[in-house]
């Protein structure tokens, strides 16, 4: 395996490292990390056995791939020496809202640049990560990118113009789904279920339904119709959802998040959210 350097060693870097080591524990000798002023990099190195670099030079000395995994607002103030230190390397950024053209200003001599947008299920190897690259990937770089993103779950290549929509749908999606589960739980409590029972039923119902959907590979509407008898209880609930414009609200949710992502990616030096 190529030597991989992680600049930023927080949640997402840890998820990638954990995924890579789960597939190949011996790979720890090829992984090296560096954080900011806090303790995350030392903690990651101690927990996983990967190398802790003491400086940018040490981080990048023998690395072939650089994973950029700090907060987006730190990019504008990134060490200018990165331009030379990353010469000839494949740079993979997971920074929300940072476009390839913006990243290129920090890494002008990189062999190629990849922009990837994982989601929080990366922590358990269940992410879906869309990615795009500045120049078409060579076969060996594609293998390296897909091995790395595959360590967090699934991945797919998309053109960059879709990245704001992706930020809304799949990166923000877990938050929207968590909100849905919370609403389901509260509704169960309103229907007089004990809170712990309502919480458990809500989580397991969403999990089971999502697994069934993934397993059957058919449209969600078909599965919905299979549990909806004429004049039955589910139909009564679905009618209420329709009357409350459920689909319209979800559509507006995604479009609002997409619009915000577009706004933030235009402003290269602004404060920006994780996703």
Q: How many CB atoms lie within 10 A of CB 261?
A: 24
Return the C-alpha torsion angle 262, 263, 268, 271, nearest 10: -120
Name which of 193 and 262 has its Cβ closer to ligand NAP. Answer: 262
Nearest approach, Cβ of 129 to ligand NAP (angstroms)? 8
Copy the structure tokens of residue 201: 């039923």
Beta bridge partners of 124: none
Does 217 contact ligand NAP by CB under 6 A?
Answer: no
Q: Which residue in 1, 2, 3, 11 binds ligand NAP (CB under 6 A)?
A: 11
Q: Which residue in 117, 134, 145, 169 binds ligand NAP (CB under 6 A)?
A: 117
Does 119 contact ligand NAP by CB under 6 A?
Answer: yes
> Stretches 37-45, 102-110, 183-191, 230-238: which one binds ligand NAP (CB under 6 A)?
37-45
Does 35 contact ligand NAP by CB under 6 A?
Answer: yes
In the chain, where does DSSP find H-type helix?
11-23, 40-48, 56-60, 82-85, 100-106, 139-150, 163-166, 173-190, 195-216, 220-226, 233-243, 246-266
Strands 31-34 and 51-52, bridge-based pairing: parallel
* Residues whose CB is less than 8 angstroms from the CB of residue 215 and which lie 6 or more positions away in sequence, other chains included: none
Spatial distance between the Cα atoms of 170 and 165, rounded to a whole number of angstroms: 8
In 36-138, where does DSSP find H-type helix?
40-48, 56-60, 82-85, 100-106
Nearest approach, Cβ of 10 to ligand NAP (angstroms)? 2
Residues from 166 through 205 that contact ligand NAP (CB under 6 A): 171
Does 94 contact ligand NAP by CB under 6 A?
Answer: yes
> Stretches 80-88, 116-124, 143-151, 253-261: which one binds ligand NAP (CB under 6 A)?
116-124
Does 71 contact ligand NAP by CB under 6 A?
Answer: yes
> Stretches 58-66, 89-97, 153-161, 247-255: which one binds ligand NAP (CB under 6 A)?
89-97
Which residue is it, tokens 């929509």?
Answer: 165
> Stretches 4-12, 17-25, 181-189, 192-200: which one binds ligand NAP (CB under 6 A)?
4-12
Residue ranges that bind ligand NAP, judged by CB under 6 A: 7-13, 35-38, 40-41, 69-72, 74, 94-96, 117-120, 122, 171, 274-275
């Amino acid at each position: 395996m190529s030597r991989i350097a992680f600049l930023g060693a927080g949640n997402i870097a840890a998820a990638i490292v954990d995924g890579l080591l789960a597939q190949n524990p011996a790979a720890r000798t090829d992984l090296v990390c560096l954080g900011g002023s806090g303790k995350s990099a030392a903690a990651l190195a101690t927990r996983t056995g990967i190398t802790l670099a003491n400086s940018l030079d040490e981080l990048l000395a023998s690395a072939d791939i650089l994973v950029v995994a700090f907060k987006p607002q730190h990019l504008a103030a990134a060490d200018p020496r990165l331009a030379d230190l990353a010469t000839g390397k494949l740079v993979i950024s997971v920074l929300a809202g940072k476009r390839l053209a913006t990243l290129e200003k920090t890494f002008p001599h990189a062999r190629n640049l990849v922009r990837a947008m994982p989601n929080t299920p990366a922590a358990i190897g269940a992410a879906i990560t869309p990615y795009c690259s500045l120049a078409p990937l060579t076969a060996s770089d594609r293998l390296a990118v897909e091995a790395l993103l595959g360590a967090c779950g699934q991945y797919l290549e998309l053109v960059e113009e879709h990245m704001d929509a992706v930020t809304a749908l799949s990166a923000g999606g877990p938050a929207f789904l968590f909100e849905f589960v919370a609403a389901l739980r509260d509704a169960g409590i309103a229907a007089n279920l004990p809170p712990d029972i309502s919480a458990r039923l809500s989580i397991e119902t969403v999990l089971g339904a999502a697994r069934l959907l993934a397993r059957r590979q058919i449209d969600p509407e078909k599965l919905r119709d299979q549990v909806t008898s004429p004049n039955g209880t589910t139909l009564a609930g679905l009618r209420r959802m329709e009357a409350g414009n459920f689909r319209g609200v979800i559509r507006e949710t995604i479009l609002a998040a997409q619009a915000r992502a577009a706004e933030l990616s235009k402003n290269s030096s602004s404060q920006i959210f994780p996703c």
